[in-house]
Amino acid sequence: MHYNPRSIELVHEMTSKAIEDGTFGCLVLESCEKRWEKTLEFQRPGTIRRQLLDNEFQAAQELVEDQSQVSLGDQSIDDLGQNMKRIFKETLEDVKSIDGWKRVREDLVRYSATELYPTKEFGKDVQTLSLQDFLLDGRLLVALPISLFRYPLAWLLKSPKLVVPLLSFYFGLANLPGLVEAMETSGGGDVLATAASGGVGLVQSADILDETLSVLFLFLDVFQIVVLSRLMLVALLGERNDVLSESIRQKCEEQKGTEKTVIAILGAAHLNGVQNRLL
């Protein structure tokens, strides 16, 4: 779990042990060159920002003397942005037809199965991630508020040009029904006065408008869920997991025939999807 003190401690212990034992071969981080350069520049060791945004990646990387043993295994942020735009446009088109909704459903079902859960039985010697891993680790749960604080803070501080428009768009849609309701309430007296004087047609028109707006807001709610789910499962998980798993596989091939260990540090959301591809 990103930015969680418990996760950071675990990463530090595993990396330190491998280095001390002489079995350390390579470190693979869930980051790309552009993101990593920005992280190192923004969160330099010894600074307040480094302490405030303490994370697993730097906790491990700072232990490695030979930085050539640190590998960046994630999809480039530019490719990720292009993929998200593509999927967003595809979703806009797909919601216009029945066949399109079928494609959306197929994506959600397929990627939910391959990215969120183990796709096969790996045996007792292989661990997979489940809800129990979170619920049974008390220290992880206790530190959860720190993760929830650091994660959005990191996005806001490092990428304000991206975060602010996204939040504005999301909260704008979320608050739109309330704004319309407030407008209707402010004009309610006029409608009642007209109804009392025999303006039945106006009242009926208002009822039709209410029903139309209710359907529209329901569609917007569904659309938000569909778009966010598809972006999350396909772009942020599925396509990135393809890149991450291939990067890890390549580093493992490089260490083949040795007793060296490849340590890959990934967010919890990626673990099962990457494992499904590697094993």
> Tens digits of per-residue pLDDT, 2-37?
999 999 999 999 999 999 999 999 999 999 999 999
Structure token digits, residue 57: 């990646």
Residues 32, 75 contacting (CB under 8 angstroms): yes
Residues 62, 45 contacting (CB under 8 angstroms): yes
How confident is the prediction for the chain on average, in pLDDT? Answer: 85
Higher model confidence: residue 130 or residue 50? Answer: 50
Scan for tokens 């001390």, then name that residue: 20
The dihedral sign for the CA sequence 42, 44, 47, 49: positive
**Range of 52's domain?**
5-278
Note the pLDDT of residue 131.
82
Q: Which of 86, 96, 115, 84 is nearest to 223 (CA)?
A: 96
3-state secondary structure of 72: strand
276 vs 279: CA distance, rounded Å: 6
* Number of domains the chain is built from: 1
Is pLDDT at 1 greater than 70 in this prediction? Answer: yes
3-state secondary structure of 28: strand
pLDDT digits (tens, 9 = 90+) for 174-223: 665 565 556 555 555 454 445 455 555 555 565 676 666 666 666 667 77
Note the pLDDT of residue 155.
82
